[in-house]
C-alpha cells in the first residue's frame, strides 16, 4: 500500500506500516549476506554480528556491541536482507530462525507496530501505553479487506473471521492466549468493539426501555465483569482472574443477533487473601471510593480499606486506575444491562457483607476447645445485609449441625475452624454471586432474535509457572495444555490431512509436539485428577495418601511425572509435571479440601431461608460433599449414585466445562492471536529478549512459522484456508 492508500487509516498509519521512504531506504542499504549474522548471547539470547573469519567448524564474529566472539558455525544464523526489516508476515523471511523472529518483533515494537503476522496467526506485544490504532476511522479502514490487503491488526483478524463466517456459513472462533499482563483482555475488547461497530443490529427496543442497544450491552459486559472478576496483580494492574468465552451470534444477513458468555475458574482465594503487591477485586475499592456515598451508608462501612481485613493485605490503590470513575462505569453498566435497583442493591450488599465477614472475631471458651463470638458488631452488620438473624449466624458458625448416617448432631468448633468457615463462606458467596451475574447478563443479551452463526472469542489465563504452584495452577496449566494441543492439531495435523485429500504430494511431518501424554497423565482414569477424585471419597484420605498414590501409579511409569528438584530457599514441592511450556513443580497441600470445597452447611441452610431473594437463590441447589457422603453411607450403595450425583468437586466441574469449551472450539474455524508480555516492569517500549523468547518457544509461534515454510501451499500464509 502506498502512503496515499494508507491515509484512510488516519493517525494510525505510522503505527501500522512502514512509510514508502523507509521501504525505499531499506532496499538501497549496503548489506553483505555472507557476513551479516546473529550469534547467541548469554544475556540477550542473540545479538547482531558480522563474521570476520571462518576456521573449519568455528567462526569469529564482531558483535554490534564491539565484542569479538568465537562461535560454532552451527550457532551462526544469517540475517535477512534489509528489505525484510520490520516485515509484516514473518513466514515470508528468506532465513527463518529464532533470532530473525525475535529481532523483527523487537524492531517493530520499537516503532510501536505492535501487531505482526506469523504465518497462520497474529502476534501482538503489550505496548503499556495508549496508541491511536483503535478509533472508528481504523475500524472502517479494515472493513471487508483481505488479510493480505491491510497491515496486521486485531481488526483484520476480526474482519476475516466475519467474512469467513458469511462466505462459508461456518461458526468461527478467535483464541486470544498469552501470559498474565500480555494484553489478552484489551484485545478481546477490541474484537467486540469491531463486531459491535460493523454488524450493528437493525432492531429497536421499546422506546420506554432504559436498557441500551444490544451493541451497547455487549460492550457494557466488560466494566460489569471486570469490577468483580479483575484485580491488580504484580504483572498487571487490571488482570482478569477468570477465563471467558464470549459467543457473539449473528443473523443470516450478518447482523448482530445476541451474545452469551461462559466463564472459567474465578480465582476466589483472592476474596480473602492477597499478596503484598496485589489487590482484591476492583469492586471493593470502587465502593470505598465514596463516589456514591449512599453505598457506604447502605453497607454500614467506612471509606478506609484498612478497616477491613480481607481487602487490605496487599495494596489498596493503583496508580493507573481511578476507582471513583470505575464505580460509575460499573453502576452504569448494570443499568444498560437492565439490572433492577433491587438486583444492584443485593450485589452491593453481599459485597459489603463479605467485608464485614473478614472482621468477625472469635475467641476460645475457657477450659474447652470451643469457639465463641468475641463481640457481635460485625456479625450483626453482615447478618443485617444478608437478611439473616445474627444470633442464628453466630450459633451456626460455632455449633454447626452435621449429618452422621441418618442422625443430625451438633459439632463444636475451635477458633481456627470457625475462621476457616467464615473464609470459605465468603469465597462461596462471592463466586456464586459472580456466576449469577454472568447468567443474568446472558439473560439480558438474549434478544430472542433468530441466530444463524456465532463467532466465539476466548480470553483465558495463560500458562503459569510460579515459585509456588498449587491446585489452581494445575487447573490453568491443564487448560492451556488442551488449547495448545487444539492449536497444534489444527495447524499441523488437519492441514496436512487436507493436502492428502486434495491429492497434493505430501510427506506427513510429525512436528513432535503431541501433548497427549501430559493430558492423559492429568485426566485419564488413574490420572492425577482421577486419583484426587477417588481420595476425596475416602473420609480418612489425606494429602500424604494422595501423594503416595500419585507416586505408586506414575513415578517411573510416565516420563511427564517426575520428582521435583530440591533447591535451597525454594518453596516445598511434591511432584513435577513436564508440560509443553516447561516443567512445573507442584505443592499438593490442601488439594483434597480445595477439590471438595466444603462449606458449613448449617450456615448454608440459613442462606437458603434468607429474606434477601438473591442470597436464597444463590444457595437454593447447594449440595455439599459431607451431606452427599453421609447420605450415601446411610442409605447403602444403591442410592449412592443418585444422592451423590448432585455434588460436584471443583476438578470434575472444571473438566466438564473444559470439555464443553473444546467441543465448541472444534465446531468452529479458529483464528489465533498470541499476546506477548515484553518486560516485567510494565515499561512502554522496553523488550527483555529472554522473556519474549521463552514465550515464543512455549506457544508454538516458531513451529507455526516453520510449518508454513516446509512447503505448505501458499494459501496457508494468508490464512486463506479454503480454496473456494
Catalytic residues: 180-181, 185, 236, 239-240, 462, 464
Cβ–Cβ contacts within 10 Å for residue 669, how many? Answer: 17
Q: Is the dihedral of CA 149, 153, 158, 164 positive or negative?
A: positive
8 A C-beta contact, residue 713 and residue 220: no
The rounded distance, in Å, linking the Cα atoms of 611 and 614 is 9
Between the alpha carbon of residue 113 and those of residues 9, 12, 95, 672, the distances in Å are 14, 10, 21, 18
8 A C-beta contact, residue 69 and residue 63: yes
The rounded distance, in Å, linking the Cα atoms of 442 and 435 is 11
The rounded distance, in Å, linking the Cα atoms of 122 and 151 is 11
8 A C-beta contact, residue 327 and residue 287: yes
DSSP string, 393-461: HHHHHHS-EEEETTEEEE----HHHHHHHHHHHHHHHHHHHHHHHHHHHHHHH-------EEEEEEE--
Question: 59 - beta bridge partners?
Answer: 54, 71
The C-alpha cell of 506 is what?
Answer: 505430501
Q: How many CA atoms lie within 13 A of 136 on its CB side?
A: 2
Of 107, 105, 80, the closest CA to residue 94 belongs to 80
The rounded distance, in Å, linking the Cα atoms of 598 and 444 is 32
Residue 669: CB partners within 8 Å, gap ≥ 6? 161, 164, 168, 170, 171, 172, 173, 721
Q: How far is CA 578 from the centre of its chain?
A: 21
Between the alpha carbon of residue 265 and those of residues 242, 331, 479, 532, the distances in Å are 5, 24, 10, 18
- Give the residue ranges of DSSP H helices in 564-612: 591-596, 601-608
DSSP string, 74-128: GG-EEPPPGGGTT-SBGGG-SS-SHHHHHHHHHHHHHTT--EEEETTEEEEE--S
Question: 349 - beta bridge partners?
Answer: none
The rounded distance, in Å, linking the Cα atoms of 117 and 91 is 8
Residue 168: CB partners within 8 Å, gap ≥ 6? 669, 722
Q: H/E element holding 373? A: strand 371-373
8 A C-beta contact, residue 278 and residue 232: yes
The rounded distance, in Å, linking the Cα atoms of 252 and 6 is 33
SS (H, E, C) 679-723: CCCCCCCCCCHHHHHHHHHHCCHHHHHHHHHCCCCHHHHHCCCCC
Q: H/E element holding 475? A: helix 471-488
Residue 303: CB partners within 8 Å, gap ≥ 6? 288, 289, 290, 296
Q: Which long-range contacts (CB under 8 A, 24 or more apart) does 309-313 make?
A: 309/358, 309/359, 310/271, 310/272, 310/273, 310/280, 310/354, 310/355, 310/357, 310/358, 310/426, 311/274, 311/279, 311/280, 311/284, 311/285, 311/355, 311/358, 313/273, 313/274, 313/275, 313/276
Residue where the block lists cell 477468570: 242
The C-alpha cell of 448 is what?
Answer: 430472542
The C-alpha cell of 436 is what?
Answer: 449469577
The rounded distance, in Å, linking the Cα atoms of 528 and 536 is 12
Amino acid at each position: 500500500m502506498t502512503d496515499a492508500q494508507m491515509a484512510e487509516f488516519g493517525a494510525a498509519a505510522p503505527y501500522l506500516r512502514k512509510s514508502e521512504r523507509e521501504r525505499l531506504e531499506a532496499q538501497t542499504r549496503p548489506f553483505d549476506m555472507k557476513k551479516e549474522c546473529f550469534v547467541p548471547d548469554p544475556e540477550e539470547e542473540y545479538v547482531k554480528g558480522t563474521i570476520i573469519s571462518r576456521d573449519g567448524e568455528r567462526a569469529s564474529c564482531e558483535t554490534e556491541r564491539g565484542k569479538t566472539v568465537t562461535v560454532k558455525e552451527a550457532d551462526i544464523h544469517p540475517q535477512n536482507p534489509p528489505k525484510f526489516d520490520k516485515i509484516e508476515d514473518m513466514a515470508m523471511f528468506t532465513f527463518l530462525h529464532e533470532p530473525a523472529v525475535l529481532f523483527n518483533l523487537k524492531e517493530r515494537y520499537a516503532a510501536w507496530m505492535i501487531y505482526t503476522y506469523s504465518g497462520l496467526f497474529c502476534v501482538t506485544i503489550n505496548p503499556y501505553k495508549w496508541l491511536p490504532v483503535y478509533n472508528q476511522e481504523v475500524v472502517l479502514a479494515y472493513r471487508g479487506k483481505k488479510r493480505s490487503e491491510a497491515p496486521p491488526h486485531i481488526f483484520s483478524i476480526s474482519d476475516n473471521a466475519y467474512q469467513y463466517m458469511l462466505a462459508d456459513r461456518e461458526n468461527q472462533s478467535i483464541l486470544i492466549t498469552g501470559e498474565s499482563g500480555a494484553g489478552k483482555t484489551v484485545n478481546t475488547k477490541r474484537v467486540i468493539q469491531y463486531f459491535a461497530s460493523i454488524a450493528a443490529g437493525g432492531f429497536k427496543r421499546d422506546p420506554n426501555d432504559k436498557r441500551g442497544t444490544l451493541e451497547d450491552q455487549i460492550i457494557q459486559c466488560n466494566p460489569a465483569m471486570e469490577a468483580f472478576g479483575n484485580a491488580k496483580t504484580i504483572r498487571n494492574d487490571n488482570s482478569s482472574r477468570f477465563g471467558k468465552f464470549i459467543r457473539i451470534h449473528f443473523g443470516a444477513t450478518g447482523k448482530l443477533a445476541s451474545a452469551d458468555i461462559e466463564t472459567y475458574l474465578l480465582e476466589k482465594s483472592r476474596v480473602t487473601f492477597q499478596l503484598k503487591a496485589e489487590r482484591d477485586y476492583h469492586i471493593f475499592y470502587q465502593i470505598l471510593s465514596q463516589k456514591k456515598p449512599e453505598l457506604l451508608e447502605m453497607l454500614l462501612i467506612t471509606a478506609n480499606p484498612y478497616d477491613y481485613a480481607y481487602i487490605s493485605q496487599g495494596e489498596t490503590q493503583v496508580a493507573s486506575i481511578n476507582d471513583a470513575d470505575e464505580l460509575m462505569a460499573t453502576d452504569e453498566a448494570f443499568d444498560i444491562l437492565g439490572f433492577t435497583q433491587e438486583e444492584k442493591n443485593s450485589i452491593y450488599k453481599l459485597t459489603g457483607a463479605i467485608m464485614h465477614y473478614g472482621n468477625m472475631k472469635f475467641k476460645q471458651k475457657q477450659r474447652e476447645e470451643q469457639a465463641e463470638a468475641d463481640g457481635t458488631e460485625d456479625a450483626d452488620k453482615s447478618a443485617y445485609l444478608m437478611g439473616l438473624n445474627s444470633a442464628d449466624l453466630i450459633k451456626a458458625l460455632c455449633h454447626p449441625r452435621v449429618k452422621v448416617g441418618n442422625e443430625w448432631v451438633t459439632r463444636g468448633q475451635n477458633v481456627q475452624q470457625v475462621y476457616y468457615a467464615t473464609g470459605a463462606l465468603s469465597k462461596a458467596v462471592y463466586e456464586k454471586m459472580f456466576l449469577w451475574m454472568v447468567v443474568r447478563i446472558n439473560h439480558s443479551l438474549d434478544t430472542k432474535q433468530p441466530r444463524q452463526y456465532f463467532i466465539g472469542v476466548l480470553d483465558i489465563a495463560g500458562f503459569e509457572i510460579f515459585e509456588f504452584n498449587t491446585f489452581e495452577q494445575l487447573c490453568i496449566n491443564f487448560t492451556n495444555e488442551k488449547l495448545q494441543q487444539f492449536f497444534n492439531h489444527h495447524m499441523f495435523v488437519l492441514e496436512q490431512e487436507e493436502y492428502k485429500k486434495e491429492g497434493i504430494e505430501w510427506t506427513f511431518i510429525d512436528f513432535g509436539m503431541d501433548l497427549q501424554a501430559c493430558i492423559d497423565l492429568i485426566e485419564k482414569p488413574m490420572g492425577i485428577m482421577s486419583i484426587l477424585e477417588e481420595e476425596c471419597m475416602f473420609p480418612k484420605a489425606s494429602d500424604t495418601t494422595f501423594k503416595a498414590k500419585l507416586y505408586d501409579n506414575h513415578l517411573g511409569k510416565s516420563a511427564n511425572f517426575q520428582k521435583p528438584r530440591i533447591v535451597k530457599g525454594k518453596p516445598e514441592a511434591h511432584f513435577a509435571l513436564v508440560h509443553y511450556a516447561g516443567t512445573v513443580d507442584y505443592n499438593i497441600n490442601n488439594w483434597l479440601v480445595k477439590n471438595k470445597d466444603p462449606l458449613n452447611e448449617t450456615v448454608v441452610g440459613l442462606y437458603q431461608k434468607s429474606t434477601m431473594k438473591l442470597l436464597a437463590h444463590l444457595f437454593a441447589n447447594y449440595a455439599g460433599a459431607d451431606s452427599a457422603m453421609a447420605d450415601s453411607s446411610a442409605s447403602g450403595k444403591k442410592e449412592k449414585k443418585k444422592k451423590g450425583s448432585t455434588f460436584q468437586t471443583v476438578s470434575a466441574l472444571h473438566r466438564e466445562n473444559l470439555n464443553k469449551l473444546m467441543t465448541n472450539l472444534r465446531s468452529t474455524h479458529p483464528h489465533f492471536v498470541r499476546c506477548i508480555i515484553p518486560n516485567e516492569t510494565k515499561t512502554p517500549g522496553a523488550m527483555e529478549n529472554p522473556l519474549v523468547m521463552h514465550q515464543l518457544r512455549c506457544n508454538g509461534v516458531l513451529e507455526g512459522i516453520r510449518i508454513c515454510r516446509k512447503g505448505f501451499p501458499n494459501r496457508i500464509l494468508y490464512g486463506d484456508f479454503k480454496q473456494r
